[in-house]
Chain A
Amino acid sequence: MKISFTLNGKKIRVDVPPDRRVLDLLREDLSLTGTKEGCGTGECGACTILVNGESRLSCLMLAAQLEGCHVTTIEGVSSAKKLHPVQEAFIEHGAVQCGFCTPGAVLAAIDLLQRNAEPTRQDIREALSGNLCRCTGYQKIVDAVQGGSAKLKKGQTS
């Protein structure tokens, strides 16, 4: 089946079985391995991507569902030179340890900040409760999302 969608700002057309998991399409067929698989069953959030700006679990989506959509993976969040403010904040606040949950957590955070520019710590914990992290204990991730929120705000006013 031929599917057309926008991936990280570029229109693409792929020929895949309609029941191929989006996660496999991205990782294996399109070499975008920044999207991780932690469970394959919708429990960990490591495979989070943005579809039309909203965070979705790519392990639970089938390729056919992407038709006409705008898809952003972690690779599309920043250019090689300039990181997204949320990514910068993750680095600065020490929110990255093994890093396996990081792409998913960054995308979930970007989604949250689009909906709620100044979330409380509790808002952040709720919004990211679907993104499991086994290394950090979450506190520094929460710090980072707050930091990202501050950076985005500054970016807008300056």
Chain B
Amino acid sequence: MTVQKNILKVGKAIHRIDARSKVRGAEKYASDYYGQNLVWAGVKRAGIPHARIKNIIIEKTKNLTGVISVLTYRDIHGSNRQGVIRRDQPVLADDKVRHCGDAVALVLAEDQAVLKEALDLIAIDYEPLPGIFSIGKALEQGAPLIHEEHPGGNVLLKGDLKTGRGEAALEECDVVVEGYFTVPYQEHAYLETEGGWALLTEDGHLEITASTQTPFRDLAEVAEALGIERESIRIRAPYCGGAFGGKDGITVQSLLALAALHCQGRPVRMVWDREESFIAGVKRHPGSLHYRLGAKADGTLYALSAEVYYDTGPYDHLGGAILALGLEHAGGPYRIPHASIRGWSVYTNNPVAGAFRGFGVPQVAAAMEQTMDMLAAKLDLSPLEMRRRNAVHRGDKTPLGVTLISSTGLAECLDAVAEHALWKEKERWKASAGSSKKRGVGIACVMHGMGYGPIVPDYANAKIELTKKGAFRIFCGVVDMGQGNASTYLQIAGDILNQDMDHLELVLPDTEKTLPSGSASASRTTYTFGNALIGAAEALKKRILQRSAETCASDPNDGLTMVLRPGSVFHPPTGKEIPLSQIVRMLDESERISVFEFRAPVTQERPTEDENLRLHGIPHRIFSYGVHLAYVEVDELTGKVEAQRYLAISDCGRIINPQVFEQQIQGGIAQGIGYALCEDLVVARGKIQTPNLSTYVIPTAMDIPEMESIAIEKQEETGPFGLKGAGEIAIDGPLPAIANAVADACGVRIFHAPLAAGRVLTALEAKRGGKEVKA
């Protein structure tokens, strides 16, 4: 049976196929290209948050030896606007700059040293405008407008959702709790900053290789912004060195394209340095949230009022969709018959906020799950019991009033927590804290919608080719930004086609070779493309078996008994085996290729008649679930919080590769711990004060505890092999679980994240002094 041994079976913890080249340092990322005759491109950034541009002074720079070209908005012949939903972000600023990181001029130089000197020489003559640096300021009557033409003024998107009698029902509750929360920015801090290279070929083709999650969408945006034909652009997306949403949208693509148009056929490279990545890259939305949650005396949730404000910076950059997803998840995975959920995504002159793993959900989960603990305390219920009484089951309605018609495994997750040693032994652990240490345990329940919602089509086109050599070539339509989906695709194809690694090949996303399949985002990457791939693989398998039977067996019905083996077709009754390299000759060119489109199902229910909210993604149909549990220890002398143990129980449907799944969960938890405890992007008057990894601290190996991940493998009927999305759910839980644990340890709640040492110490001291805490 050795032939069968290495089949890439679904469910097996197969080692990722990209790992080998990555451990050898052989994998080529977008920033790894240097090439002959290279041109270096760099960007002059605004440096001030809001101003009208009077003049861009470039003469001196142009005359510098080694400078090839200096480009401004005048050199752009398209719309000069990019964005996913609202195209409001210029490639190069024209009338005004709206945040410190706006790109104003693009310089092309012979080498890095000249480039740096040239950028320093550019002067910009501004007429400063009053800046808007807070949500409150942006919403004031008569506030200066960031986009004068935007009908909503400084409000990018507003949502107002109501179920039942809404907040009025709070009056009918036996207990009501209230909290004001703030959540900070979070920087993606992927190890690979934004970058890539481009080339204008002799026949006028623009070839861009970039670290991106969205090559097909980028292509349309670049074409429109620069006024070039879509057909003349090609975008390739190698493995990203991390992306997490920060490369869901244009970073360097249009700039590189513009540069290439002015490089006389020479390749041009641009890679942002870390500081530029901080200044110009997008961040998780900071926000403030006002929650009021009420229950009946028996602990049944009854009414919710949630107000959610997100600071989106000066550009849309998915900030509307992020708010919408936040609102949809604002009430958590609970049955709440009456809810008023309102939200504002607001333009400011602060750094641009955009997509970041979790996409608006970690913020609301932080508020909702802490409010749940406050309510449980008031009702004298354990946090777990409070959640068990209210957890959604399949067929229940969400706080938005949408029926959960897909698999819903939250109750099983809660059961698993209740049975787990970390839950059962928590009191003993807490009691054994050392001197001047306090210990606490917290939990949080989360859910996460998958896909784009009811309007934006969530589709993928898979393509498989049987090569002349008898191998299967999988055209991967969705980017692998590090999460391993490309590898998973081979596993899916290998399982269906009964192949080992030697007979599978992979083509990474390339707008000229692979087919449009949407973004690597929204926890939909493996769900949507995986389903498409199953269709393509099944069809090709059928065709191959049928054709081999027609040709090789006496009875054409033998197609039913023939089976695929690695590199061959086998006929068990006769023991006959034919190499695929031979079968391929019986197929026409077109028959060797199988293409299948899958469109994700959407829900028909309409919790809102606001078409704009629907366009921005409300509601979803399929959700993943999770329950997180954190053990923390607080140092009473310093206020430092240490996460010491961590457990995540997840319902992400069936698991295709347990190792890859665990990677997602552990990685999400670690980012969430950073969000909860140490990551603090300081912004003053629109300017980032912590633009590097020594002042903006992300967790090191010393800061992350041992984590345990358990999967409740509940079949999702519509999922490929029963799977649901797993990319984001793990980042929704850590902040609330840790905040609840800290409150448990300290006996005082800190409403502002991150729960950094200084803040915790202040709260502890205030408590000792008997003061009410507003840390």
Which residue numbers of A lie inside 8 Å of B, CB to CB? 24, 27-28, 31-41, 43-44, 46, 73-75, 77-78, 83, 87, 90-92, 94, 96-103, 106, 121, 124-126, 128-142
B191 in contact with A96 (CB, 8 Å):
no
Contact status B22-A43, CB under 8 Å: no
Q: List 25 A-B contacts (CB under 8 A).
A: A31-B34, A33-B28, A36-B29, A38-B274, A39-B274, A39-B692, A43-B693, A43-B694, A46-B191, A74-B23, A74-B24, A74-B25, A91-B19, A94-B19, A99-B18, A99-B22, A99-B23, A99-B27, A102-B25, A103-B25, A132-B189, A133-B191, A133-B701, A137-B670, A138-B699
Instruction: For A126, list chain B residues within 8 Å (CB).
Output: 701-702
Which B residues lie at the A interface, using CB under 8 A? Answer: 13, 15-16, 18-20, 22-29, 31-32, 34, 112, 188-193, 239-244, 271, 273-274, 481-484, 659-660, 662-663, 666-671, 692-694, 698-702, 704, 706-707
Q: Report chain B residues within 8 Å CB of A24.
A: 112
Is the beta-carbon distance between B702 and A96 smaller than 8 angstroms? Answer: no
Asked if B22 and A102 sit within 8 Å, CB to CB, the answer is yes
A43 to B275, CA, bound (A): 12
For B190, give its contact among A37, A94, A100 (CB under 8 Å): A100
What are the 7 closest A-B residue pairs judged by CB atoms, nearest first? A34-B25, A98-B482, A99-B22, A100-B241, A137-B670, A74-B25, A137-B666
Contact A96–B701 (Cβ < 8 Å): no
A33-B192 contact, Cβ under 8 Å, with A41-B694, A134-B242, A135-B482: no
Whether A96 contacts B692 in the complex (CB less than 8 A), given A135-B242, A137-B707, comes out as: no
Residue B15 contacts which of A74, A94, A121, A131 (CB distance < 8 angstroms)? A94
- In the complex, the answer to whether A139 meets B26 with C-beta atoms within 8 Å is no
Cβ contacts under 8 Å, B15 to chain A: 91-92, 94
- Are B192 and A129 within 8 A (Cβ)? no
Q: A103-B25, A135-B482 are contacts. A94–B660 as well, Cβ < 8 Å?
A: yes
Chain A residues within an 8 Å CB radius of B31:
37
The answer to whether B241 touches A98 (Cβ under 8 A) is: yes
Beta-carbon contact of B693 and A44 below 8 Å: yes
Q: Is the CB–CB distance between B242 and A75 below 8 Å? A: no
User: Which chain B residue has the least Cβ–Cβ distance from A107?
Assistant: B25
* Nearest-neighbor residue (CB-CB) of B243 within chain A: A98
> A129 near B701 (CB under 8 angstroms)?
yes
Evaluate whether A132 and B34 lie within 8 angstroms (CB atoms) in the complex, with A100-B242, A102-B23, A140-B663 already known.
no
Asked if residues B698 and A132 are in contact (CB atoms below 8 Å), the reply is yes
Query: In whole Å, how far is B501's beta carbon from the nearest beta carbon of chain A?
Result: 13
Given contacts A136-B670, A137-B670, contact A100 B191 (CB under 8 A): yes
A102 proximity list for chain B (CB < 8 A): 22-23, 25
Alpha-carbon gap, A34 to B28, bound state (A): 8
Residue in A24, A41, A73 with the greatest tally of chain B CB atoms within 10 Å? A41
A3 CB, min distance to chain B CBs, angstroms: 19
Please report the C-alpha to C-alpha distance between residue A126 and residue B670 in the assembled complex, in whole angstroms: 17
A136 CA to B22 CA, complexed, in Å: 14
Q: Are B34 and A28 in contact (CB under 8 A)?
A: yes
State the CA gap A90–B18 with chains docked (Å): 12
A22 to B60, CA, bound (A): 32
> Is B666 within 8 A of A140, CB to CB?
yes
A44 to chain B, nearest CB (A): 6
CA distance A32 to B694 in the complex (A): 27
- In the complex the two chains form, is A38's CB within 8 Å of B18's CB? no
- Nearest to B271 among chain A residues (CB) is A37
Overall SS of chain B's interface: loop
Kindly provide the distance from the CB of A58 to the nearest chain B CB, expressed in whole angstroms: 13
Note all chain A residues with C-beta closer than 8 A to B663. 94, 97, 135-136, 140
Task: A35 to B26: give the CA distance in the assembly, Å.
Answer: 10
Known A28-B34, A134-B244: A98·B701 in contact at CB below 8 Å: no
Give every chain B residue within 8 A of A135 (Cβ-Cβ). Answer: 242, 482-483, 663, 667
**Please, which residue of chain A has its CB at the minimum distance from the CB of B31?**
A37
Known contacts: A87-B23, A131-B701, A140-B663. The answer to whether A99 contacts B693 by CB under 8 A is no
Measured CB to CB, the closest approach of chain B to A127, in angstroms, equals 9
A140 to B701 alpha-carbon distance, docked (Å): 11
Cβ of B692: which chain A residues have Cβ within 8 Å of it?
A: 39, 41, 43
List the B side residues contacting A44 at CB < 8 Å. 191, 693
How distant is the Cα of A138 from the Cα of B674 in the complex, in angstroms?
Answer: 13
In contact, B25 and A96 (Cβ under 8 angstroms):
no
In the docked arrangement, what's the CA distance between A145 and B692, Å?
Answer: 28
CB neighbours (8 Å) of B193 from chain A are 38
Note all chain A residues with C-beta closer than 8 A to B668: 137
B662 touches A73 (CB 8 A): no
Taking A96-B23, A142-B701 as known contacts, 14 extra A-B pairs with beta carbons closer than 8 A to each other, sorted by chain A number, are A77-B24, A94-B663, A97-B482, A98-B190, A98-B243, A125-B702, A126-B702, A129-B700, A131-B701, A134-B189, A134-B671, A135-B663, A137-B704, A138-B699
B115 shortest CB reach to chain A, Å: 13
Complex interface: chain B residues within 8 A of A38 (CB): 191-193, 274, 693
Nearest residue in A to B696 (C-beta to C-beta)?
A43
CB pair B666 A134 closer than 8 Å: no
B32: chain A residues at CB < 8 Å are 27, 33
CA distance A27 to B659 in the complex (A): 32
B16 touches A94 (CB 8 A): yes
Q: Is the CB of A99 within 8 A of B482?
A: yes
* B701–A99 touching, CB < 8 Å: no
Q: Which of A90, A106, A121, A135 has the most CB of B within 10 A?
A: A135
Contact partners of A41 in chain B: CB under 8 A: 274, 692-694
**List of A residues within 8 angstroms of B671 by Cβ:** 134, 137
The answer for the CA separation of A91 and B103 in the assembled complex, in Å, is 40
Q: Which among A90, A137, A140 has the greatest number of chain B C-beta atoms within 10 A? A: A137
**Quick check: A96 and B274 within 8 Å, CB to CB?**
no
* With known contacts A39-B274, A128-B701, A96–B666 Cβ distance under 8 A: no
For A46, give the chain B residue with the smallest CB separation.
Answer: B191
For B191, what are the chain A residues with a Cβ–Cβ distance below 8 Å? 36, 38, 44, 46, 98, 100-101, 132-134
| Residues of chain A within 8 A of B28, CB atoms compared | 33
Determine how close the nearest CB of chain A comes to the CB of B173; give it in whole angstroms: 39
Q: Which B residues are CB-close (under 8 A) to A83?
A: 20, 23-24
Query: Known contacts A134-B244, A138-B670: does B22 contact A96 (CB below 8 Å)?
Result: yes
Contacts of B707 in A (CB 8 A): 137, 139
Q: Give the CA-CA distance A106 to B24 in the complex, in Å.
A: 9
Given A36-B241, A128-B701; A136-B25 close (CB under 8 Å): no
Question: CB-CB < 8 A to B274: which residues of A?
Answer: 38-41
Cα distance A41–B13 in the bound complex, in angstroms = 37
Of chain B, the residue at the smallest CB distance from A84 is B23
Kindly list chain B residues whose C-beta atoms are within 8 Å of the C-beta of A141.
701
Tell me the smallest distance from the CB of B266 to a CB of chain A, in Å: 16
A99-B667 contact in complex given A34-B24, A129-B702, C-beta closer than 8 Å = no
Inter-chain contact A138/B23, CB cutoff 8 Å: no
Complex Cα gap A138–B241 (Å): 16
Question: Nearest CB to that of A133 among chain B residues?
Answer: B191
Name the distance in Å between B110's Cβ and chain A's nearest Cβ. Answer: 13
Query: In the assembled complex, which residues on chain A have CB atoms less than 8 Å from the CB atom of B34?
Result: 27-28, 31, 33
CA distance A60 to B381 in the complex (A): 55
Q: Of A36, A132, A139, A140, which one neighbours B700 at CB under 8 angstroms? A: A132
Minimum distance in angstroms from A103 CB to a CB of chain B: 4
Choose among B19, B26, B242 the residue with the greatest number of A CB atoms under 10 Å from its CB: B19
Task: Report the minimum CB–CB distance from A99 to chain B (whole Å).
Answer: 3
> Which residues of B have CB within 8 Å of A28?
34
Tell whether, in the assembled complex, residue B25 and residue A75 are in contact, meaning their CB atoms are under 8 Å apart. Answer: yes
A138 near B189: Cβ-Cβ < 8 Å: no
A96 to B659, CA, bound (A): 11
Residues of B contacting A35 with CB < 8 Å?
Answer: 25
Chain A residues in 8 Å Cβ range of B26:
34, 75
User: A131: shortest Cβ distance to chain B, in Å?
Assistant: 7
Q: How far is the CA of A97 from the CA of B661 in the complex (A)?
A: 11
Cα distance A36–B701 in the bound complex, in angstroms: 19
The chain B residue with its CB closest to the CB of A137 is: B670
Residues of chain B with a CB closer than 8 A to A129's CB:
700-702
CB <8 Å contact, A40 and B482: no
Interface centre among A27, A38, A124, A141 (most CB of B within 10 A): A38
